[in-house]
Amino acid sequence: MNINPEHIWDGALEKLKTWARINSPWAIHYNSGSCNGCDIEILATLTPRYDLERVGVKLQGSPRHADILICTGPVTLQSRERLKRIYEQMPEPKFVVAVGSCAISGGAFQGCYNIVGHVDAVIPVDVYIPGCPPRPEAIIDGVVKLLESLKKTDGRAQSTDDRLQNTDNRSQTADAGQ
């Protein structure tokens, strides 16, 4: 076995980072065209009855501090570039949670002229939480499932370039479909 003394702590450090990441993920929230219903349920998730902070999730103001992007609503033409920019500003590794039927499929707004469609057509999504809007319990469940899945993958996500490539392919297909 060949042990490189310079990288002897790398594995341990990686484990430590994963542990820290899973125990205190910071989230930001962006409404890309939602009706508000999901947004108030996300807020309700953070307030005393449901209290998402007890699983360590804290809502942050800036994408540069965030691990998780909680995204609601169908993506409108205006917010598409913004959503991409917010995603690109987040540091690696980053995860996206799509909340609500609209974020998953366009929901009730399918066919409206100013809708790009689902969040998946613009940025890669890790967890989908269905519902119109999902109950706070469902949002907590989705976030906890994301954290559980991080334990299995050692907290590493697929590299962003690959994922964006996949998304570009998807959105091109979506554009062609329209």
Partner 1 sequence: MEANKFIVPIGPQHPALKEPGHFEFTVDGEVVTNATIRLGYVHRGVERGTEDRTWVQNLYLIERICGICSHIHATAYALGVEKLAGVTAPPRAQAIRELFCELERIHSHLLWVGVAAHEAGFDALFMYSWRDRETVMDLLEGLSGNRVHYSCNLLGGVKFDIDEAQRDAILRGLDFLEQRTHHYLDVVTNDAAFLRRTRGVGMMTREQAIEYGAVGPVARASGVARDVRVDAPYLAYDQFPVNTIIDTAGDLEARFAVRVRELFESYRVIREILDKLPPGELAAKMPRKMPPGEAISRVEAPRGELFYFIKSNGGDKPERVKVRTPSICNFGSVGRLTIGHQLADAPMILAGIDPCFSCNDRVVVVSTK
Tell me which residues touch partner 1 (CB under 8 A). Answer: 28-44, 47-49, 60-63, 73-74, 76, 78-79, 82, 86, 107-109, 111-115, 132-133, 135
Q: Cβ atoms within 10 A of the Cβ of 171, count?
A: 19
Tell me whether residue 28 or residue 121 sits nearer to partner 1 (CB atom): 28
What is the smallest separation between the CB atom of 103 and partner 1, expressed in angstroms?
13
Q: Are 85 and 123 in contact (CB under 8 A)?
A: no
The Cβ-side half-sphere exposure at 154, using a 13 Å CA radius, reads 8
Q: Specify the amino acid at residue 51.
A: D
What is the smallest separation between the CB atom of 149 and partner 1, expressed in angstroms?
25
Tell me whether residue 7 or residue 49 sits nearer to partner 1 (CB atom): 49
What is the smallest separation between the CB atom of 24 and partner 1, expressed in angstroms?
18
Tell me whether residue 25 or residue 73 sits nearer to partner 1 (CB atom): 73
What is the smallest separation between the CB atom of 153 and partner 1, expressed in angstroms?
27
| Rounded Cα distance, 138 and 133, in Å | 10
| Rounded Cα distance, 14 and 73, in Å | 34
Tell me whether residue 22 or residue 99 sits nearer to partner 1 (CB atom): 99
Tokens 């969040």 — which residue? 119
Cβ contacts of 137 within 8 Å, gap of 6 or more: 50
What is the smallest separation between the CB atom of 154 and partner 1, expressed in angstroms?
30
Tell me whether residue 29 or residue 163 sits nearer to partner 1 (CB atom): 29
